[in-house]
Each structure stands twice: as structure tokens, then as C-alpha cells.
Amino acid sequence: MSKLFSFIKHIFKPHYLFYLTILVSLGVFAIAIKINLFRYNNFDYGKFDLGNMAQMVWYTAHGGKLMWLTDYFGTNLPRWAMSHVDPILLIFVPIFYFYPHAMILVYAQLILVIFSSLIIYKLAKLHLKSDLAAFFISLAYLLYPAIGFLIAWTGFHGVTAVIPFFLLAFYLLESMEVTNNFTKTKLILFWAMVVLALSGKEEISLFILIWGIFVMLFRKSKRIGLYLSFIGLFWFVMTFMIIIPAYSHYRIEGYQRFAQNLDLVNANTTDVELPNFFLSRYDGFGESYSEIAKTVILNPTMVVRVVLGGDKLDNLRQTFAPMAYTPILYPPLLVIALPEFAINYLTTAEGVGTSEIINHRISMIIPVLFISTIYGIMYLVTELAKKSKLINKNKNYFVIAVSGLVFVTNLYTTFSYNNPIYLWFTQAVSKRLPFNALSYAKTADAEVLLGNLAVGDRFTLSPLENKDRECALKIVNSIPAEASVTGPDYLGAHLGLRETYGIFPSLYNEADYVIVDVFAQKVLRILDLDTSFIRNVVGEILKSDEYKLDNACGNMFVFKHVGKHKKTLLLPLQERYKFEEKVDLEIFKTLTVVDYSIPDTIIRGENADVHFAYVKRENEALHGNFLFMSFVNERTGELYQVANLPSFGVLPIADWSEDRYYLEDNVLALPKYLDAGKYRFFVGISDNVRTRSIYIKTIDVK
């Protein structure tokens, strides 16, 4: 036994700090897994971007087309038509062939990014000659605030996933330089890592180009540097000048079909119809690559004003402060990240944030920062040692001290910048935060279930959620795998593994299933349209004799394409000057129900007609309010809610006039997953701050 312990000690003791780095990385990985599972189950990951990434891999594995996806406007097209070239996704095709799931990409990114700490350790050990200094730098990497946001918030992006490939390529070349041992095996692995790094995103070509220049200027392997620069320049020209412009016609033609289908005349299409989708972000400098480059070179005053404008200076501080500004100690390597800094900080379009540390666009800046820090520490101590015998005698201690400083500043900023990984960790420790499987079912208060209720009794029920997780999950499970779908962005990560998943209102009159959530406004923001646009489309669906309401839950309505069937052409919300009032049931702010018709029995899975007549007795402002129905199970108290679609999407109650009557015809499609039994039925109003509901009747759900 003593021999066994001696053997273990002999193996682990010399490398215990490296193994401790692995252990800490595993802890970070475990926390990140929990956070990402929660975010996926909470529908925080949508079509943009995780759903798109997963759809491209699925399409390649099962759809027979290389990296195709559905864009903003419902067009199926190759990835490069959306102005990105990131073929790194192809390495996941074999996995998706047998087990397609969006979270595969997330788990892979977590492994790749988190365990890059081990490459950081090896690189730091190579040049700083200290295990403790290497340990401090690798811990600093795991604590770096932007890393926390990348692994907790961003899902998957090619530019993030290739961090370890760039780091490993750099380490391999440096280790060959230090040992002067350029073996065939290491060179093959080195070039494989370079190719994988290039596959992460189109601008990484510029990282490789500048790195090649560095190698030619400061390293012995001049030929490798020349090859690096040539490959970087070649891939830059191929992606930016040839591939992206050549495929942009797919996007432009798709948008034109989308605009024609929806009769768009006032949409902001500046960026949509450019050869590169993202050029409009820099329209303050020009409208083409050449104009932008010329202005940046000839107008440095404007460049400084843009780079330091708004919150960009603060973003720059949050990028460098965790590193105690040590990357600037070695500018020859820091300039490798200059292209990404330019892309992120030169944006002139309003409302476009690309420089924040919470954004995935910082991804490739991070490895360059840590490489520059390692070399900066080495350079600083070496230069100081030339001037001080004390420092020269204790070089190792100074290396450890500066590395420790980088660790401490990262430890401090990871909490002050609210790094979600360590924020969760501290909350879990202090509050024993549970992180088990969550149930999202809502229940009503006891007063709603006790005693006899009178018609018109008013209660403050739970407001209708903007994104009801339980409803979303049940709707996702109800959609056939082979069906084409258009719906809200937040369902895209769950429903994206199919040939077509568009963002509503694209394909609203073509898809097999149309999922309407009139809270969702992603396309409106892209095209700078107002909410009346969505209301008009909802009205078209309600009138269409091709679509039938199949399911409704919360703020979501599922319409199925069933073909021609009998359907009234009248909009389900009519305005009247006169109406014979049958009841007088005020909901809130003089909005009053004056008549209603609700079936005594509703069959789950079958459509049921529910009618209301309202009047607004006084000119009370109802901006931001909407009507919704609530069903409370008398036995369990569980609450099922659904928005009143006509008054929600056709003519919002904020636009209703005083003393006019509004007749609303709702089609209910209670889902089959709803428990059978007696339900208390309410109609209510909410602005997500104040909520009022009145009791109407008790019904049987069968």
C-alpha cells in the first residue's frame, strides 16, 4: 500500500496545481451546465442564435443541404447569405445525425471554452517558468467576467467555440520555437488548429494574418509566419469579398418576397438589401467596404469620437480592468485583436451594442488578452531585471506577484461586474439555492376556490405572462416534427430542428403551423415597424379560411393549415354605436362587460365559441392593457390562461372609444393536456402591473 501511495505522490505532486486547475474548471463546468439547462427550459434561448446554429447542423445532417437555415424573413438559404461564414458547425454533423438536439452545441461550447484554461496554464508555464504563476493566470481566465457571460448567456457561436483551437495553435508554435523542435506531428496538429480557428467566423482571418506578421517579425519560423499571413489574407478575401456578396441575393430576394407578401412599404430595409447584412452598422463612415476603410484611415478624429462615444469607453474599461491592464504591456501581440476591436467599437448605428462584455463578439479578444498578458508579464519582469539586481535575483517572485495581481483583479471584477457563474455560486452557497427540475404551473389563491362566487365578483388573479414557459413547452410538444412552422423567436431553439422555422409574421400564410404571440416583436424592431403591422397580420389569419385555431395557451395561439373550410369573413371584433345591454359587470377603469355567451361544457381539443360585448363608459386611458381569460380548476386550483386574441391583435382596447360597444368573438381551443373537471371562468384585464378579473360562471371541461 505504501508503494501505491508513493507512486500516486510521485505522479501528482509535481503537477498538483495543473490538476487543481482541472478541478476548478470542472466546478465551473458543473455550474454552467445547470445555468444553461435552466435557460433552455426557460425558453431564454431562441431561434437567434442557438436555434439557427442547431438548424444548420440538422439541415446538413438530415436535410441534404450544407448549412442551410431559415432567415428573418422565412427564406431557406445557406448561412453565408446572412453574412457569416462559420463552418465550425460541421464538426457536429455526425452527432446530430444520430442525436439531434440544440443543447449538444451548448455543452460542446462549455467544454471548449472552460477547459481552455488548461491551454492557458501550459502557455503561461512555458514562458513564465512558474507553476504558481500559471495557476494564477488560468484561474484568472476562469474568473474573467466576459468568460462567465459567454458560458452562461450566449448559447453557441462559432467565434466562441474556436477559442481553444486558436490558443492551442499559438501554444504549439511557441513550444516548437522554444525547444527549436519542429516535428511533423506537431506541425500537422498546428495547421489543423489554425484551420479550425479560421472556421469560427469570417473576421478570424484577420487574426491569423496579423499573427503571421508577428511571427515573421519576432520568431525564427519566418516561413510559417508567411504562410499564416497568406492563409489569413486568402480567407479574408474569400469570405468578405467573394462568398458573402455572392450569396447575398438569397437574402435580398427572400426579403423582397416577404415584403411583397405583407405589402410592406414603410419598412427600414437599409441593411437587408446590402451585399453584407451588417454594413449599415458602420453607415456613419460609408456604405461600402472601401468607403468605410477610407474614412477610418483619413478621419482619425471621427474614429476616436465613435470609439469613445456612448458607453464604449466603459465597455473598454470592463474589458481591460479585470486584467489589471497588463495586455498593453506587450502591444505586438495585443494588435492581433485589433480587427475585432474595430468591428465592435466602430459601430455608428443607434441601438446596436457590440462592445459589451456580455456580448459573444468579445470572444476572440479574450485569448489575445491572456496571451498578451503572459508575454507582458514576461517582458516587464525581464526589463526590470536588467535595471535592478534585486528584481533579477528574485525574478520568479515578481512573476508570481504580477500573475497574482491579475488573478486578484479578475476575482474582484467577476463579482463587481455580476459574472453570472460566480453570482449563482455565491447565492447557492449563502442561500442553498435549489436548482432542481422546475414546475411552472400557476395556481389561484384560495379565495377564488372557496365558497359560492357571484357573477361579477372581482379578484386579482395572476397576470397573463409575456412568455408562459409551461404553455410554450406544451405547444412545442404538440407540433409534428416534419411540419413547417412560423412562430416567436423564443421557441426557435426548441422547434428549429426542421427544414423551416420562420419568425412570425414570415410565412404566416404558408407554414403548416402558425404560432402567434403578439407580444413578440423581433421582426418589428429589425424593420422599424409599429405594432399595427402585427395586428393587421393577425387579422388576416383570423379571417383566413385556410387556417383553423388548433391550440391556445397564455399569450400563444397555434393555427393549423387545414385547407379551405367554412369561415366568416367578418373580423371577430366589431364596433357598434348601439347595443342592448344584458348585464353590467365592470372589470376595471369603467371597462364593462354588457353581455357574454360561454358554453356550459367545453371539449378539450375542439373549438368552442366565446362571445363578449364591452363598453368603456368613460374616457379612461387603457394604454398597455389587454384582455385575457382565466380557467381555475376547482379541484387542484391550477390556473390556465389565454389572451383574448381579437381585442389583443385586431383592435387593442387602448384604441377603444368612450360609449361605444365592442363585440368580441373568441374561438377557444382548450388543449388536450388540460385536466378534465369543473373550472371557474374569469375574464380580466392587465398591463402586467395591475390586474383585475371578474368571475363569469363555472363550466365543465371534458
- Which residue(s) pair with 700 in the sheet? 601, 678
DSSP 462: P
Residue 608 lies in a domain: yes
Report the alpha-carbon distance of residue 559 to residue 547 in Å, rounded.
Answer: 6
Residue 229 lies in a domain: no
Output the CA–CA distances (angstroms, integers) from residue 411 to 119, 136, 424, 611, in the order listed. Answer: 20, 11, 15, 60
The sign of the CA dihedral 566, 472, 501, 525 is positive
For the chain, give the percent of residues with pLDDT over 70.
Answer: 91
Residue 387 lies in a domain: no
pLDDT reported for residue 172: 97
3-state SS, one letter per residue, for 468-494: CHHHHHHHHHHCCCCCCEEECHHHHHH
Residue 526 lies in a domain: no
Residue 635 lies in a domain: yes
pLDDT reported for residue 434: 46
Is there a contact between 541 and 525 (Cβ–Cβ < 8 Å)? Answer: no
Q: Is the pLDDT of residue 148 over 50?
A: yes
Count of residues for the chain? 702
Q: Is the pLDDT of residue 136 over 50?
A: yes
Q: For residue range 433-491, what is the model confidence (pLDDT) as tens digits?
A: 444 433 445 666 666 666 688 999 988 887 776 666 777 888 899 899 999 999 999 99
Q: Is the pLDDT of residue 268 over 80?
A: no
CB atoms within 10 A of CB 48: 17
Nearest to 312 by CA among 366, 281, 352, 360: 352
Question: What mean pLDDT is predicted for residues 347-352?
Answer: 78
Pairing of strands 513-516, 485-487: parallel
Question: What mean pLDDT is predicted for residues 396-416?
Answer: 95
Lowest mean pLDDT among 28-37, 398-407, 565-574, 591-600: 565-574
Report the alpha-carbon distance of residue 627 to residue 644 in Å, rounded.
Answer: 6
Give the list of residues 6+ apart from residue 452 with CB closer than 8 angstroms, or none.
Answer: none
**Geometric angle at alpha carbon 663, from 658 and 666, rounded to 5°:** 135
CATH number at residue 695: 2.60.40.770
Residue 598 lies in a domain: yes
678 versus 261: which is more confidently predicted?
Answer: 678
Q: Which set of grid coordinates corresponds to residue 5?
A: 501511495
Is there a contact between 679 and 444 (Cβ–Cβ < 8 Å)? Answer: no
Q: By three-state DSSP, how is residue 62 classified?
A: helix
Q: How confident is the model at residue 276 (pLDDT cuts 50, 70, 90)?
A: confident
The secondary structure element, H or E, covering residue 91 is none
pLDDT reported for residue 438: 37
pLDDT reported for residue 10: 53
Q: What is the pTM of this model?
A: 0.84
The secondary structure element, H or E, covering residue 111 is helix 102-114
Q: How confident is the model at residue 275 (pLDDT cuts 50, 70, 90)?
A: confident
Pairing of strands 485-487, 458-459: unpaired
**Geometric angle at alpha carbon 200, from 197 and 204, rounded to 5°:** 70
In angstroms, the first-to-last Cα distance of the chain is 70
Q: Is the pLDDT of residue 695 over 70?
A: yes
For the chain, give the percent of residues with pLDDT over 90.
Answer: 60
pLDDT reported for residue 652: 84
Question: What mean pLDDT is predicted for residues 403-427?
Answer: 91
The secondary structure element, H or E, covering residue 672 is none
pLDDT reported for residue 433: 46
Is there a contact between 85 and 202 (Cβ–Cβ < 8 Å)? Answer: yes
Provide the strand spans (E) within 482-625.
Answer: 485-487, 501-503, 513-516, 547-553, 556-561, 573-576, 585-588, 591-597, 601-602, 608-616
Type of residue numbered 269: T
Q: How confident is the model at residue 280 (pLDDT cuts 50, 70, 90)?
A: confident
Output the CA–CA distances (angstroms, integers) from residue 576 to 434, 580, 656, in the order listed. Answer: 54, 11, 11
pLDDT reported for residue 439: 40
Number of domains in the chain: 1
The range of the structural domain enclosing residue 641 comes to 446-463+568-701
Residue 4 lies in a domain: no
Question: What mean pLDDT is predicted for residues 240-249?
Answer: 93
Mean pLDDT of the chain: 88
pLDDT reported for residue 446: 62
Report the alpha-carbon distance of residue 562 to residue 289 in Å, rounded.
Answer: 48
Residue 79 lies in a domain: no
Type of residue numbered 216: M
Highest mean pLDDT among 155-159, 250-254, 537-541: 155-159
